[in-house]
């Protein structure tokens, strides 16, 4: 379940959760401790290093329970269509990194 993440998404997810929970956050320090490549596993490891309890789950959006918020949801894109272009829609399966 090592879905790749772009640098800006990796930084945003960590920064947003730190801000929400009033945890000190510095982008330069983050990037020094966690060099690329970025994926969901790296995000989970980084969140844990900031003191968050995390869990990776491969679930449908209907299975996300309100009691587990805040969560980071990574949508799985639908496979390429017959013309070889990406479909706009996303599947109903997500990968959730929850943090409390």
- Structural domains of the chain, with CATH: 4-99 (3.90.70.10)
Tens-digit pLDDT profile for residues 48-89: 999 999 888 888 878 887 767 788 888 776 664 555 444 444
Tens-digit pLDDT profile for residues 11-35: 999 999 999 999 999 999 999 999 9
Q: Are 45 and 54 in contact (CB under 8 A)?
A: no
Question: What CA–CA distance (Å, rounded) separates 39 from 6?
Answer: 8
Question: What CA–CA distance (Å, rounded) separates 25 from 11?
Answer: 10
Question: What CA–CA distance (Å, rounded) separates 19 from 50?
Answer: 12
- DSSP label of 11: H
Question: What CA–CA distance (Å, rounded) separates 72 from 53?
Answer: 13
Q: Are 58 and 93 in contact (CB under 8 A)?
A: yes
């Amino acid at each position: 379940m090592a879905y790749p993440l772009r640098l800006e998404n990796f930084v945003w997810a960590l920064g947003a959760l730190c801000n929400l929970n009033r945890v000190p956050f510095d982008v330069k320090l983050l990037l020094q401790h966690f060099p690329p490549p970025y994926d969901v596993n790296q995000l989970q490891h980084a969140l844990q290093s900031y003191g968050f309890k995390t869990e990776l789950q491969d679930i449908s959006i209907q299975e996300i329970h309100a009691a587990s918020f805040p969560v980071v949801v990574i949508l799985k894109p639908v496979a390429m269509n017959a013309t070889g272009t990406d479909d706009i829609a996303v599947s109903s399966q997500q990968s959730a990194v929850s943090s409390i």
